Amino acid sequence: MTDVAPKIDPDLDIERASGLDLDIELDPARFPIESCAVRGFRQAYVRVNPGGVPLLCVHGWPETKRIFWKVIAPLAAAGFEVIVPDLRGFGDSEPGPDGFHDVTSHSLDLHALVHDHLGHESVVVLGGDLGGPVIQDLALRHPEWVARMVLFNSPLPYLKDRMAGIVGTRPAAESSDYFLRQGTDPDGLAGDLDSPGQRTRYIATFYTSRFWAHPGAFTAPGAVEFHTAPFADATSLRASFGAYESAFDPAKRSGPSMLGRNERTPTLVLHGISDHVMYPAFDRMAAQVFAHHVGPYLLRDCGHFVPWEAPHALASGTVAFCGDLLSARRRPPPPVPS
């Protein structure tokens, strides 16, 4: 692993660049939305600061690209080309035409978007929750393409030989009801949620009463509604259950995923410790999965939704972790010999 120099532009005010005005944070039109159909469906994405160091930010469930609204501006101001897609079936993206919504299909979609459509020969990947397995798959599927990884509060492969002595490698049993229902009875659940209001109220529980987030993280007026609104659509909500189905039913998998110990990719590991759904020992487990890890760093007063709950920590940490890449992109070209 090459040394990663923690360099931050002294003129960059990440706190200010994040846009702390609530009306801006909750504006669905804050960033222009582009789309492509390279994999046979309309995939929507935000792209800010083309020409910077490519940074792919991948949301989880129940999220959309909006979960990154607080960090797009500071990351772009630091020199990244920030690429934030809606996964197939989420937000402004259409469902997959083949009916698959598993980790492998998402991984193939994003490589097609960033490598084939946008033309990037290397990328930094960042994500958590469902986005975590997706970027882990990308890093193992395309090891020469993924230069660095930033991972937080994500499912991990269980490495029995390395994790047997770690306490807290399974989520709390009381948090698993949603997982079982979405994975084994998705049509029944979707049928029960038969109105936009019922669908958004169901999603709202994950931001509030289920304690995935740190208390108070989504109490600002309109914050919960901002994140739940994309799930009012019945087709989108049903498609979003696909990753859970694939965990139980091999027929719901488009192909084998590539999840396992990563011996190659430099990885920054962050852990929002107020999360009541992810493994309590996520940080210790991640340290066993990624041979070349920085951290893990524990985030105080932060739960599952790290980009929204701890935007400064995520943005500044990512900038420091990739400081050498950012400096190289900003460096002027050498003079041409006379």
- Does residue 188 lie within any of the structural domains? no
- Does residue 200 lie within any of the structural domains? no
Q: Please provide the average confidence, as pLDDT, over all residues in the chain.
A: 92
Q: Is the pLDDT of residue 4 over 60?
A: no
The residue range of the domain holding 323 is: 14-169+255-328
* CA torsion through residues 285, 287, 290, 296, sign: positive
Q: Which of 163, 145, 147, 128 is nearest to 260 (CA)?
A: 163
User: What average pLDDT score do residues 52-80 get?
Assistant: 98
Position 136 scores a pLDDT of 98
User: Per residue in 175-201, pLDDT tens?
Assistant: 789 999 999 999 999 999 999 999 999
Q: Is the pLDDT of residue 56 over 50?
A: yes
Position 24 scores a pLDDT of 83
Q: Is the pLDDT of residue 148 over 70?
A: yes
- Does residue 273 lie within any of the structural domains? yes
Q: Which of 21, 28, 18 is nearest to 229 (CA)?
A: 28
Number of helical (H) and strand (E) elements in the chain, helices listed first = 16, 8
C-alpha–C-alpha distance, residues 205 and 227, integer Å = 12
How many domains would you assign to the chain? 1
Position 163 scores a pLDDT of 96
Paired strand residues for 83: 47, 56
- Does residue 75 lie within any of the structural domains? yes
Q: What proportion of the chain, given as a percentage, has pLDDT over 90? A: 87
- Does residue 233 lie within any of the structural domains? no
C-alpha–C-alpha distance, residues 233 and 42, integer Å = 16
- Does residue 227 lie within any of the structural domains? no
Q: pTM of the prediction?
A: 0.92
- Does residue 232 lie within any of the structural domains? no
Across the chain, where does the E strand assignment appear?
33-36, 43-48, 53-58, 80-85, 123-128, 146-152, 267-272, 293-299
Q: What is the CATH number of the domain that holds 128?
A: 3.40.50.1820
User: Per residue in 275-330, pLDDT tens?
Assistant: 999 999 999 999 999 999 999 999 999 999 999 999 999 999 999 999 999 999 87
- Does residue 207 lie within any of the structural domains? no
Position 154 scores a pLDDT of 97
